[in-house]
Amino acid sequence: MHFIVPQWPAPENVRAVQTVRTGGYSLPPWASFNLAGHVGDDPAHVAANRQLLAAQLPYPPCWLEQVHGTTVVDAAAAPSGSIADASFSHGPGSVCVVMTADCLPVLFCVRNGSAVAAAHAGWRGLQAGVLEQTLAALAVPPEDVLAWLGPAIGPENFEVGGEVRAAFMATDGEAQRAFRPGAPGKWWCDLYLLARQRLEKAGVRHIYGGEECTVADSARFFSYRRDGVTGRMASLIWLQPT
């Protein structure tokens, strides 16, 4: 199995990895390192992939049932499969994880190494405030937080309807910079820019990542927009004992 390691100045006790689609047991169209059990893949293959992943982690991951909402749970206390779109940890012993295949995964850490979090930010959750809710759960000044934007659908491939643009514009006129005209009634949307705008407005000054496109890179990434039936990748973060 293979990982992407975020390039950001995280504290020494913070560990974070991003899975890619290769190195697992799943067969097409979920080939091969699919970690989601809700996409039609053979459950035995998903279980084997999760076991491969777990062998690389110091603690069990806190898997979530993601619903494009804003609920944030404590990874140390939440049962596996909790309905939420983000989790946080204030100490060693748990792994925060979100799954994506075009939606934006955002990893957070506090600069002194006291807390971490992971959020699943599709456009609905992003617009509704999942990043702001995750920041609140960290319970530190936002200027002390680092954020990493993981692989997501890029601005050249994310065409949306006017209702998406209107939803973001209703709360922040600056969101217009993240949209450019597409086909009649459609707009090309820069999900990365929208996330940066939200984070900066919330007071986060240290933002990294945001250079990948899941649709464009079929060799490394699953993409629901590109393939329809496909697997899911995981973005994980945890604290090592100091």
User: Can the peptide bond before residue 184 be classed as cis, meaning omega within 30 degrees of 0?
Assistant: no
Q: What is the pLDDT of residue 3?
A: 93
pLDDT of 242: 77
pLDDT tens track for 101-132 = 999 999 999 999 999 999 999 999 999 999 99
- Average pLDDT score over residue span 64-88: 97
Does residue 45 surpass a pLDDT of 80? yes
Q: Is residue 210 very low, low, confident or very high in pLDDT (cuts 50, 70, 90)?
A: very high
pLDDT of the residue at 2: 81
- Which phi and psi angles does 116 have, rounded to 5°? -140, 165
Q: Check: CB of residue 157 under 8 Å from CB of residue 216.
A: yes
* 3-state DSSP of 112-160: CCCCEEEEEECHHHHHHCHHHHHHHHHCCCHHHEEEEECCCCCCCCCEE
Residue 96's pLDDT band (boundaries 50, 70, 90)? Answer: very high
With 90 as the cut, is the pLDDT of residue 90 above it? yes
Asked whether the CA dihedral 73, 79, 82, 87 is positive or negative, the reply is: positive
Q: What is the mean pLDDT of the chain?
A: 97
Give strand pairing partners of 88. Answer: 74, 117
The predicted structure's pLDDT at residue 70: 98
Predicted local distance difference test score (pLDDT) of residue 6: 97
So what's the pLDDT on residue 120?
A: 98
Please give the domain boundaries of the chain with CATH numbers for all domains.
Answer: 3-152+204-239 (3.60.140.10)
pLDDT recorded at residue 221: 98
